[in-house]
Amino acid sequence: MKPYHAPAWLPGGHAQTIWPKLIRQAPIKLRRERWDTPDGDFIDVDWVDGPPRSSLLVLFHGLEGSSASHYALSTAHACRKAGWRLALPHFRGCSGELNRRPRAYHSGDAEEIDWILHHLHTAHGGRPLHAAGVSLGGNALLKWAGERGAAAGELVTGVAALCAPLDLAACGHHLARGFNRVYTQYFLKTLKAVSAARLRQFPGLFDEARMLAAINLHQFDDAVTAPVHGFAGADDYWQRASAKPWLKSIAIPAVAVNPKNDPFLPATYLPSAADVSPQVRLEQPAGGGHVGFVSGTFPGNLDWLPQRLLHFFLYETS
């Protein structure tokens, strides 16, 4: 498959990040399942159905994403056309309903990834499935693959990550500067609303005043994400949850696609061949933005990302 090249009519990482949200896609009907978790909570999984023994792709969404995210919709259309089944799990609190337990989700949530993949593996008749993740979901998936090593191959044929924030400290601090603060405020709006609702369920879970006063992701993660999920603070969370240190331990086919103009992660922090195992393929195109990958003539389409996923799992994991 040809490497990604951004169209000349859509220059720059910010435009390539924002424009995909404005591209209209046909609606697609998804079937929802609710799974009870081992700790008494639940997650919702949206499905594109297909023949029982057809390939199954699982796609983990990004921060505050869902099955309605533009990349999820384009992947759903591509899977339906290809005759694949698609599972779109929602991290806790991202499916439109508050979860039952105090925990939510975070960038290094390999434990949740593992539980979901085991559940899907069983539902898929014990056959390996294809696993992909976007942004936060890609970071958590790569970290899971690195932690599990060769054992990951018992569940999946390989892993693909698109625009994973592999170095969370670099990403978090970069999003606090310049125009990037627009993205930060976009995330904080929903993160704070959901966190406030969770605090009403579980009084004293974290410091509400610090949460409301947060103006960047470091302050929010220090006030909410870290204490809720057992980290000493934002710095501890960002260090321990980053996937980059785990890339050398991945023992199954993997691809990490990170545009060099991604506004979320400066190119200077992207991994090199020396940072990864021989099983990991690094693709770092000049353009693409953050989960943009617009292609074609104006107004563009969102075909490249799902086609990259299908091509990887069809031809690059055997």
Displacement of CA 18 from its chain's centroid (Å): 17
* Cα angle for residues 47, 191, 146 (degrees, 5° grid): 60
C-alpha 133: how far from chain center: 4
Q: How far is CA 218 from the centre of its chain?
A: 19
Longest dimension (CA), the chain: 52
- What residues act catalytically? 135, 262, 290
- Evaluate whether 188 touches 158 at the Cβ level (below 8 Å): no
Beta strands in 127-283 (DSSP E): 129-134, 156-162, 254-257, 280-283
Q: Which two tokens stand for residue 200?
A: 């009403």
Residue whose C-alpha is closest to residue 157's, from 54, 253, 280: 253
Positive or negative CA dihedral for 78, 288, 16, 146? positive
Instruction: Please tell me the distance from the alpha carbon of residue 66 to that of residue 46, in angstroms, as a whole number.
Output: 9
CB atoms within 10 A of CB 21: 10
Enter the DSSP assignment of 301: B
Are 63 and 136 spatial neighbours (Cβ–Cβ below 8 Å)? yes
281: helix, coil or strand? strand
* HSE-CB for 63 with a 13 A CA cutoff: 28
| Distance in Å from the first CA to the final CA of the chain | 16
Nearest to 42 by CA among 110, 117, 95: 95
